[in-house]
Amino acid sequence: MSAPVEQPALDPALFPGRDAVPQCRRLIDYIAYWAQRTPQAPFDHDTARGDGVQARRSYSQALVDIEQCAARLADKGIGVGDVVAALVGPSAEFITLYAACSRLGATWVGLNPAYSVPELAHVLTDARPALIVSIGVYRDRPVAEELTRLAREIAGVGEVVGFDDVLGLGGAGSGEHVTAPADENAYDVDATAVIVYTSGTTGRPKGAEISHRALATGCYLQASRFFHEDSHAIANLPVNHVAGLLDMAGVPIASGGCIHFMAEFDPDGILELIERERITMWGGVPTILALTAARPAWKTADLSSLRYLVWGGAPMPIGLIPQLRATGASLSTVYGLTESCVSVAYNDPDATDEQLAATIGRPDPRMQWRIGDRTVVGEPGELLLRNPTLLTRYRGLEEATAEAFTEDGFLRTGDVAVLREDHTIELVGRTREMFKSGGYNVYPREVEAAIETHDAVREVVVVDIPDPVFHQVGAAFVVCENDIEPTDELIESIRAHAASQLARYKQPKRYEMLADLPRTGIGKVDKTALRARLAASG
């Protein structure tokens, strides 16, 4: 048997901001740091408010607004440890309230405006916020009224107010209960800063509690990796998701950069924004990048300002990578999960197209990791992580928290991984998605990767279905490349291609062609919906 692989040494060239980015212990301290050093530097730009002065703030202006918001929250009795829930999209309102919670030591819970009433009820019942701040209407839906009704029905939930009641712009609020932002000892930084609810595609969402220290450390770790002068980043992911809280907001702030908020996904708007504002960093799930690259404006837009173009949450189709390379940006997969708070693996700047499509790159050498009991090249096992950014606990779920960690404190990611000869890591499945067919282990991601090499296939997802002979077999949902008509002959061609790439027990026994795949609110494939489709069709 091969010997375990040693952890690689730290390569300073991969972390250009290791000395330029401050190591703070709270989100608010990053804002205060840059407000003191570069007070007139641009802090944010809310595109929903237009392009004028009213839509933009400097670091010094933002800090004043945050102070006023914190004062109003304090006047409403919000302090250390109190939970504040907010239903809002990526916007200036979001970042002001989010930072004000950091200022006070309160706990942030984001509510996605797209949540259904039952989904909102689950989060409110679990989090028991002392205060709910909400926009009034979302796509003609009276979300504030819905929240007010839920707040009356659920014991222990505080009042619902609008953003005008807490933003304090121009304003009132005594602020007598607010401590100075530079005082890192105002509260315990190991207390909970945010509660992020897992996506819930495999069951009821769990509330992952992440501390102020973990969140701030995650901002430093990732900002030092992608640091560059005069950074401008797009933030258009939901603020109830760790990517919206850290990758899209916290990382630019830690770098002293500017956040450009977009409330909705608009591919043409993204291209226009990159060109007009000279955006330097953009990212999202591969679906967002693919839909944007498919727009006619992609061929004519000036995207030369992009320094980094990153994606995560799903594999990037290899056929799209040349289009992304044409921007001149440095490309990378970023791998992380809610429970890790921060991305923990990246592709190297010189990664090949195959490495970008098939792997998550290499783990950050500043973190501890292993595959299974010991990391051996070519041997699959669960990817395990240990670093200072991990969740503290699942809210109110002691058993689930204990199950999430090994005895020596490593987080169980649930991803089955293989270390390749080139020292990159390939994900071959999920521990819970792995199924046994005729007694053999089948990893859906391995099967998907093989089918995706067919010229007509744009995207494929494999799930397991019951089988009277083999116990479980695979079912493949296939999306064709543009302008390719799905036919019975094409299905047989894909089936034959899979047979040429995979052992018989790994080959899907059922194929369905779809125009597109169902997705969750953050763009990940909704496998629960796919399984329901199979069940309904028999």
pLDDT in tens, 260-301: 999 989 999 999 999 999 999 999 988 889 889 999 999 999
Lowest mean pLDDT among 40-49, 164-173, 426-435: 164-173
CB 213 within 8 A of CB 388: yes
CB 538 within 8 A of CB 503: no
CA distances from 88 to 260, 273, 413 (A): 16, 21, 29
pLDDT of residue 170: 41
pLDDT in tens, 216-256: 999 999 999 999 889 999 999 989 999 999 999 999 999 99
pLDDT in tens, 404-455: 999 999 999 999 999 999 999 999 877 778 787 877 778 888 899 889 999 9
> Is pLDDT above 60 for 180?
no
Q: How confident is the model at residue 126 (pLDDT cuts 50, 70, 90)?
A: very high
Better pLDDT: 203 or 158: 158
pLDDT of residue 449: 87
SS3 category, 65 = helix
- Which ranges of 187-266 would DSSP assign to H, the alpha helix? 212-226, 242, 251-254
Q: How confident is the model at residue 335 (pLDDT cuts 50, 70, 90)?
A: very high
Residue % of the chain over a pLDDT of 70: 93
Residues of the chain with CATH 3.30.300.30: 435-537
Residue % of the chain over a pLDDT of 90: 73
Pick the CATH number of 435-537 from 3.30.300.30, 3.20.20.70, 3.30.70.260, 3.40.50.2300: 3.30.300.30
Lowest mean pLDDT among 51-60, 143-152, 425-434: 425-434
pLDDT of residue 182: 46
pLDDT of residue 380: 92
Residue 64 CA to residue 31 CA, distance in Å, equals: 11
Residue 25 CA to residue 40 CA, distance in Å, equals: 23
3-class SS string, 145-184: HHHHHHHHHCCCCCEEEEHHHCCCCCCCCCCCCCCCCCCC
Span 331-358, average pLDDT: 95
Span 83-105, average pLDDT: 97
Give the architecture (CATH level 2) of 22-210.
3-Layer(aba) Sandwich (3.40)
Q: Would you tell me the crossing angle of helices 267-277 and 286-293 to the nearest 10 degrees? A: 80
pLDDT of residue 483: 80
Residues of the chain with CATH 3.40.50.980: 22-210
DSSP 78: -
Q: How many other C-beta atoms can be found within 10 angstroms of the C-beta atom of residue 503? A: 10
Amino acid identity at 197:
Y
Mean pLDDT for all residues in the chain: 91
> Is pLDDT above 70 for 4?
no
Lowest mean pLDDT among 100-104, 118-122, 430-434: 430-434
pLDDT of residue 54: 82
Q: How confident is the model at residue 199 (pLDDT cuts 50, 70, 90)?
A: low
Span 67-89, average pLDDT: 96
